[in-house]
Amino acid sequence: MQRRCDRNRKRSKRRDIYCPNHGCYLESRSQKYQLFADQPGQLQQRGMSRRSALMLVASQTTVSIGGEWLEAFWCEHCQQTKWYHVCKSKERTYKVSLAPQELWQQVTGVINPEGNPSVGEFTRKQAKMLNYHNIKDFQFSINA
């Protein structure tokens, strides 16, 4: 017979997401970032027919891909946080792989870990500086 506290538990269970390299439990370090498709080929890769994919992308600019997202996880064995592509296959069953570079274009609201390619080297260097020393950081040659 079940205990009363087990029968009445309405809280959700912990997600069983494990490291693909070490098999240890991964702890979430970010929110889920939903994937979106803006090309028919992206939908076809997930099992949709070519015609349906073309019609859906033509009628909507972007289509939300259900059951897939990007999320940052902490691995106890590696002692570091990495971004993973998570696919929910069944109820409480997940397939986890390192997030490939091309998936970053399909997500909104997340900062690319490689940095913005349109930002120049000087701007990137200045943004990383802890102390701003004003004019000393700029090297001018003054001809008198």
d(CA 82, CA 59): 35
- Please give the pLDDT value at position 113: 63
pLDDT in tens, 25-40: 899 988 898 999 888 9
Mean pLDDT of the chain: 81
d(CA 143, CA 22): 61
pLDDT in tens, 55-82: 998 898 888 888 899 999 998 888 888 9
